[in-house]
Amino acid sequence: MDPRLREAAAYWAGTSSYSQPQAMAGYAEAPPAVKDAQTAGLARLVTRLTAGRLDYVKRTTADAYGRALRAAHLAVALGACLVDLAGLACPQ
């Protein structure tokens, strides 16, 4: 995994499912380059998973691959929500 994606995620990592306010504040404070790294990293992850479908299914199962791909798509959707919500909360 791209280390920039891990670095970006550290800005808004929560300790529990109840830490959304902390995550939003962290995202709002992150520099634009970090936010861009998150968006690009998640896009690359989905692309890699999609392109490597046959290999991933051979190594695991179709169900496991489907769960992983779904989780990656959800991460992209959540990232888009962060972008939208941060824009509403912190106009620039």
56 within a domain of the structure (yes/no): yes
Report the domain count for the chain: 1
Two structure tokens written together for 75: 């991460």
In a domain, 92, yes or no: yes
Helices (H), 1-92: 3-11, 20-29, 32-51, 53-59, 62-89
Per-residue model confidence (pLDDT) at position 1: 66
pLDDT digits (tens, 9 = 90+) for 36-88: 888 888 899 999 999 999 999 999 999 999 999 999 998 888 888 877 877 75
CA 75 to chain centre: 4
Q: What is the pLDDT of residues 24-50, one digit of tens each?
A: 778 788 888 888 888 888 899 999 999
Q: Would you say residue 91 lies in a domain?
A: yes
- Give the model's confidence band at 11: pLDDT under 50 very low, under 70 low, under 90 confident, else very high: confident
The mean pLDDT of the chain is: 83
Dist. CA 13–CA 3, nearest whole Å: 15
- Give the domain range for residue 57: 39-92
